[in-house]
């Protein structure tokens, strides 16, 4: 799809369940959203994945440079705003990682967690980037393609179809867009501001990266208040193309706090589908919009476990599960959750008579006061339902 921003048309790819937490992926200099292709199948099972082509790259419009990292960060925020996204997990490769750092500094309340792949807080030297920008505007990208690819991919990896594809992505980048992004790199140094990035941050680096080597990644990680480092073997500067499985596993483990080697890839998506079917889109949309770093692990756990595993089992139909759930919540005195599931009874096939009957059992086995409170709550909600009907 394409989104119109202030001064350009931006190409954006979106994958994953509409109600899932949002994951914003920012690509590297001279590439496009294609560098994430090998990871999307698994990432989109747990997240709503948004992949824009950066200004001057991919299928997005090219505006006259120079660009700045602030400008590129604001482009990303504008994309999220256009898609009605309040908060997101954000990260990127190389310049994409620098943009992600800037986003966390500009609007920290909108960033749930960061992952920074083969990047740095500053890309020296300023003069070399300006020289490269000048050279590209004069001569294009063809004559530097081999040198760039040798920095991006390990020597064994250069023989793969992915490397050949990456070369084509680079050559199809607009020279003005590339040069303008070089100028953005020349003027940005966030080193003295890293203490302001307080969200949990995963720094990933290819073991053989020479552009932003392990030593740079380690220094970046140590400068962050809540950083952790992951070194990926047999990978260089664009590990999302060389080692997509390793990067995906590291990202998912960090973002959700789970071991994703042993989790069915569709578990979150299945849970979200069932959750929406039972509780309704409006409730789920409100819940996901309100997620913060404090409760994001809990929300993921609930969707995957309660809805993706238990509510998805075939032993009981949804009406039966609804009856069991209502009885347990009433017996435990969980009034807020009980009310939520009374509302949901219209989606599960649980009738007014079913609710009245199950509350008799609550009175016998959990006590009359608990049943009395639940009856009062249910009567008010069912009365509202009948008015609407």
pLDDT of the residue at 198: 92
pLDDT of the residue at 14: 97
Average pLDDT, the chain: 92
H or E element at residue 92:
strand 88-93
Mean local confidence (pLDDT), 305-323: 89
Span 101-140, pLDDT tens digits: 999 999 999 999 999 999 999 999 999 999 999 999 999 9
Span 46-98, pLDDT tens digits: 889 999 999 999 999 999 989 999 999 999 999 999 999 999 999 999 999 99
Structure-block tokens of residue 343:
């509302």
Asked if residues 293 and 199 have their Cβ atoms less than 8 Å apart, the reply is yes
H or E element at residue 49:
strand 48-52
When the candidates are 2.30.30.100, 3.40.109.10, 1.10.3720.10, 3.40.50.1820, the CATH number that belongs to 2-256 is 3.40.50.1820
Residue 258 pLDDT greater than 90, yes or no: no
Residues 387 and 389: their CA atoms lie apart, in Å, by 5
Asked if residues 44 and 19 have their Cβ atoms less than 8 Å apart, the reply is no
Structure-block tokens of residue 267:
């578990």
Asked if residues 94 and 211 have their Cβ atoms less than 8 Å apart, the reply is yes
Mean local confidence (pLDDT), 152-160: 93
Range in 30-39, 76-85, 257-266 with the lowest mean pLDDT: 257-266
> At 56, is the secondary structure helix, strand, or coil?
coil
Span 185-238, pLDDT tens digits: 999 999 999 999 999 999 999 999 999 999 999 999 999 999 999 999 999 999
Residue 281 pLDDT greater than 90, yes or no: no
pLDDT of the residue at 313: 83
pLDDT of the residue at 294: 85
pLDDT of the residue at 293: 80
Residues 174 and 161: their CA atoms lie apart, in Å, by 22
Asked if residues 191 and 212 have their Cβ atoms less than 8 Å apart, the reply is no
**Quick count: other Cβ atoms within 10 Å of Cβ 181?**
28
Domain span(s) for CATH 3.40.50.1820 in the chain: 2-256
Residues 56 and 29: their CA atoms lie apart, in Å, by 10
Contacts of 366 (CB under 8 A, 6+ apart): 330, 331, 332
Span 353-373, pLDDT tens digits: 999 999 999 999 999 999 999
pLDDT of the residue at 295: 86
The band of 311, judged by pLDDT with boundaries at 50, 70 and 90, is very high
Assigned CATH for 314-389:
1.20.1290.10
Q: pLDDT: is 10 or 21 the higher one? A: 10
Let me know how long the chain is.
389
Structure-block tokens of residue 372:
């009395």
Domain span(s) for CATH 1.20.1290.10 in the chain: 314-389
Q: Tell me whether the omega of the peptide bond preceding residue 18 falls within 30 degrees of 0, making it cis.
A: no
> At 151, is the secondary structure helix, strand, or coil?
helix
Q: pLDDT: is 17 or 71 the higher one? A: 71
pLDDT of the residue at 16: 87
Asked if residues 306 and 271 have their Cβ atoms less than 8 Å apart, the reply is yes
- Say what percent of the chain tops pLDDT 70: 97
pLDDT of the residue at 257: 65
Residue 253 pLDDT greater than 90, yes or no: no
């Amino acid at each position: 799809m394409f989104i119109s921003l202030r001064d350009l048309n931006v190409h954006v790819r979106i994958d994953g369940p509409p109600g899932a937490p949002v994951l914003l992926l920012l690509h590297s200099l001279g590439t496009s959203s294609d560098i994430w292709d090998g990871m999307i199948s698994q990432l989109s099972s747990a997240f709503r994945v948004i992949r824009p082509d950066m200004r001057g790259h991919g299928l997005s419009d090219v505006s006259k440079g120079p660009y700045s990292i602030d400008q590129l960060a604001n482009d990303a925020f504008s994309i999220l705003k256009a898609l009605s996204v309040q908060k997101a997990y954000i990260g990127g490769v190389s310049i994409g990682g620098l943009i992600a750092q800037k986003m966390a500094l500009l609007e920290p309340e909108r960033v749930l967690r960061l992952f920074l792949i083969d990047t740095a807080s500053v890309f020296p030297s300023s003069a070399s980037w300006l020289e490269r920008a000048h050279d590209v505007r004069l001569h294009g990208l063809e004559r530097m393609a081999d040198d760039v690819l040798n920095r991006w991919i390990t020597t064994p990896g250069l023989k793969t179809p992915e490397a050949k594809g990456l070369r084509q992505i680079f050559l199809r980048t607009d020279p003005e867009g590339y040069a303008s992004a070089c100028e953005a790199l020349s003027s940005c140094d966030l080193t003295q501001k890293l203490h302001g990035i307080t969200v949990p941050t995963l720094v990933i680096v290819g073991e053989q990266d020479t552009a932003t080597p392990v030593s740079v990644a380690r220094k970046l990680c140590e400068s962050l208040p809540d950083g952790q480092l992951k070194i990926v073997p047999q990978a260089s500067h664009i590990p999302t193309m060389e080692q997509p499985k390793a990067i995906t596993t590291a990202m998912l483990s960090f973002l959700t706090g789970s071991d994703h080697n042993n989790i069915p890839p569709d578990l979150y998506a299945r849970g979200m589908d069932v959750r929406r079917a039972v509780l309704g889109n409006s409730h789920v949309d409100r819940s996901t919009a309100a997620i913060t770093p404090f409760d994001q692990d809990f929300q993921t756990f609930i969707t995957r476990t309660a809805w993706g595993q238990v509510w998805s089992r075939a032993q009981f139909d949804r009406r039966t599960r609804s009856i069991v759930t209502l009885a347990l919540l009433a017996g435990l005195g969980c009034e807020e959750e009980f009310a939520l599931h009374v509302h949901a009874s219209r989606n599960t096939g649980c009738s007014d008579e079913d609710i009245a009957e199950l509350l008799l059992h609550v009175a016998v086995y959990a006590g009359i006061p608990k049943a009395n409170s639940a009856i009062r709550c249910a009567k008010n909600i069912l009365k509202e339902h009948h008015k609407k009907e």
